[in-house]
Amino acid sequence: MELPVYIDGKREGALTVERRGTVTAMTVQVRDVGRVVRLSVYGEKAGYLGIPEPAGGGMLRLEKQFTPMQMLQFPQRMEYAADRPLDRRAPAEKPAETPEKGGEKRHVLWMGGKPYFF
């Protein structure tokens, strides 16, 4: 299985997860962003993966093997790896503009998700 790897919110590489006998091997290949990157795997929870090391050619690489007991720290359904969780919330709505009356701003009262001006 191959998953995206995000650094600073941008896709910078890939995480390959494969079973090798009783262990699970995870290999990360990402672009070198010029700083130390601590990667975790995210899904319904987060599991710490490690710090990739320089692999030459402007790339970083991390290869680890985990036992079935160690795999309990990772999410059942892995979605991506990243240096921090992605913000997947919908963009916040801009606050309603307060209409002006006679050059003065009016007061706004929010009720039921709707603005009422007075």
The per-residue pLDDT of the chain, averaged, comes to 84
What 110-115 contacts at long range (C-beta under 8 Å, 24+ apart), as own/partner pairs, is: none
Output the six-digit token pair for 67.
């036992």
pLDDT score, position 110: 74
Please identify which residue in the block is written with the tokens 């680890």. 64
Give the pLDDT mean for 89-95.
55
Give the pLDDT mean for 18-45.
92
* pLDDT tens digit sequence for 73-88: 989 899 999 998 887 6
Q: Is-above-0.75 flag for pTM? A: no
pLDDT score, position 108: 72
